[in-house]
Structure 1
């Protein structure tokens, strides 16, 4: 890859829009199903997929971080979410690796972030007002 993509920050307009979850989870599922992609994918394909997954993972992480901040400090859900966010920050700080392994790792990270996202939106500690602010 030539240059790492800049982190995506969800501004007020983007925060009001729902994440486009389904296509990215379908892409992650397809990526994780690859068994012998070396014959199928060119390096440029891996690079493009890596960028898409990394950029979307950053957007999901921002949303998860926002929801996490609304949880009580002593919440078990918050503690686990902070662990997942810490791992996401560490992995997303580096440029995405345009390899099959790199793309599959990003797909796993995206699934973990969406799992946290879903659990936060069903957490009893979060009020609807906290999620929409």
Structure 2
């Protein structure tokens, strides 16, 4: 951690608790960020947006993990979720930059995690 990073103190694990996500507001943020053509924000503004999207991506990833863990072992959706979660972990481990590109990458990650979450919460496909 650098001198400017802050670590969340969460001894009871409430940050990853099964709390409802503020999905609509984050989906609106994702849509806005992905619609940027030539934004003119300061690096600090980009960093704040990236931090918001990063925190939300972690929360959605935790939700994806909980749903994947609840699936039967022979349900392929769980295996695909694990692949998506590994990819998300790799992308979240990348340093935060105060750029539009970094914000848009995090927005794409949030969108992808919500897509996976939606597929995990749908009824299982019928087998023949």
Q: TM-score scaled by structure 1? A: 0.80
Query: CA offset at residue 67 of structure 1?
Result: 0.8
What is the root-mean-square deviation in Å for CA atoms of aligned residues? 2.5
Change (3 A) 1:117 1:89: same
1:58-69 correspondence to structure 2 within 5 Å: 58-69=58-69
Query: CA offset at residue 12 of structure 1?
Result: 5.2
Gaps of 5+ in 1: 126-133
Change (3 A) 1:13 1:110: closer
CA distance in 2, matches of 1:41, 1:85: 30
Match of 1:51 in 2: 51
Match of 1:131 in 2: none
1:15-54 correspondence to structure 2 within 5 Å: 15-37=17-39, 40-54=40-54
Match of 1:117 in 2: 117
Which structure has the highest helix share of the two?
1
- Residue 86 of structure 2 is aligned to residue 86 of structure 1: yes
User: 1:71-121 CA distances to partner (integer Å, 9 max, x unpaired)?
Assistant: 122322112111110111111123322211110000000000011111111
CA distance in 1, matches of 2:9, 2:93: 12
Change (3 A) 1:5 1:69: farther
Q: TM-score scaled by structure 2? A: 0.83
